[in-house]
Amino acid sequence: GALRLEMCSCFHALEEDADTIPQLEVSGWEIEQAAAGNRNYTVLTVEKLARENPGAQLYLAIGSDMLLSFDGWHRWQDILRLAHLVV
């Protein structure tokens, strides 16, 4: 959890080239939910971000290892409807 969040946060360095890279925000909400003992699914996080950012294009970064099992994720079709996958 925390290591993945730290790795994703490195994408902020790319924001310096704002003409080619859209504004980026890395969310640690799932980690906060886990720390509070709450069960969470990625689709719930994506839905939350979509509600909080109407009209925004959402991207979900996953590793190639996760792509192989993505069709087994809870409500994966809804994730694809709400966000673009970045592998």
Q: Which fold has domain 2-86?
A: Rossmann fold (3.40.50)
Overall average pLDDT of the 39-50 stretch: 93
Q: What's the pLDDT band for 86 if we cut at 50, 70, 90?
A: confident
Overall average pLDDT of the 37-64 stretch: 92
CA distance 81 to 34: 25
pLDDT of 61: 85
Alpha helices by DSSP H, listed for 1-87, are 2-9, 29-35, 42-52, 64-67, 76-82
Give whole-number Cα distances, 71 to 3, 4, 46, in Å: 24, 21, 16
pTM of the model: 0.74
- Rounded to a whole number of angstroms, the CA Rg of the chain reads 13
Q: What's the pLDDT band for 7 if we cut at 50, 70, 90?
A: low
